[in-house]
Structure formats: structure tokens, C-alpha cells
Amino acid sequence: MEDDLNEMFQTNVVGNIRLFNLFLPLIKNGKTKKVVTISSGMTDEKLAVQYEIWEGALYSITKSATNMVTVKFQAEFKKEGIIFMGVCPGNVDTGHHDNRKYAVREAYYRILISAICTVTPDNLQKLMAMSGKFVAYAPHFRGMATTDEAACDVLSVIHKATMEANGGKLVSHLGNKQWL
């Protein structure tokens, strides 16, 4: 578990810090002064507590740390007019699964299988429990978005982003706090 946490931390947190620092001179000299991380609604503390979503802890912890990195960069570079923000793209079919259309519950299972590396009988029970929590949270959810749909949603949020509304904040692909 510690190795998994270290690997995720290096990818999700340290990797973003390095990217921010690498591209910051270009951002400062560019016309569009926006830096966006891809984050997750799994970092929403209220969601986790209200729906008892304890699963995916390592992922959520590292993405939460990434959100704080974004906040700290925002605090440092706000006066220079640079917006640092996070966007959760929602649930996206990234090609890790075949292109068959699934029923709602099966879509949740696909989402969650990606988050649980090894599917064991115990993990499958956890997966089913977590999918029930997602159904309770967003009964309207009908499945994963295509990568094209998600990209359009995220770009729309980025284009509309303002310092006042989005600086240092995490929003969903809908521009609000509705994650699914």
C-alpha cells in the first residue's frame, strides 16, 4: 500500500508541481493565463462523508493534495493574473474497456474497477457497495462520457473560467460541484 501511495503521489502531486514550474514562464508570457489540473470529485469531503465513500482512499488523498498545490500556486500568482484551477471531467470512457454500451450499474462497475487495481471477491463486494453510493448521489447518471464529450465539457469550463469564480477552485465538467 505504501508503494502505491508513493507512486500515486509522485504522479498526481509531484508531477503537477514539475509541470507547473516547467510551463510557468510560457504561461506568464502568454495571452491565456490559465493552468488547469484534472482532478476528481472523489476529493469532495462533503460527498465522502454524506455518502460514506471511503473507497479509493489513496487516489482521493493524492488528488486532494493536487488540489492544494493548485490553491498554493493560485495564491502565489493571482496578482500576475494567472488562474490556477482544477476540473473534474466526470466519468469518462478512456478506452480501458471495450466500447459496448452498458446499463447504469454496469457503467458504475467499470468506473470503479479502474480504481480498484485487483478484482478479488472482497474488492468486488466493495465495488458493488460503492456503486450503490454513486447511484444514491446521482440517480440521473446514465454512463460514461466519451473522451470527445468530456474534452468539450472541460474546455467549455476552462474558456468560461474567471479569476473570481474559478481561481484556486475545483469544479466539475459542468462548471459546478455536481461530479456525476
Which residues are the active-site residues? 59, 63
Integer Cα distance of 155 and 115 in angstroms: 25
- Edge-first strand listing for the sheet containing 170-172: 34-38, 83-88, 170-172
- Among left, alpha and beta (phi > 0; psi -120 to 50; other), residue 168 is left
Give the Cα separation of 88 and 91 in Å (integer).
9
Residues 17/76, Cβ–Cβ less than 8 Å: no
CA angle 33, 71, 13 (to 5 degrees): 95
Q: Are 88 and 39 in contact (CB under 8 A)?
A: yes
Task: Name 87's bridge partners.
Answer: 38, 171
CB 165 within 8 A of CB 142: no
Work out the end-to-end distance of the chain between its first and last CA atoms, rounded to an integer number of angstroms: 28
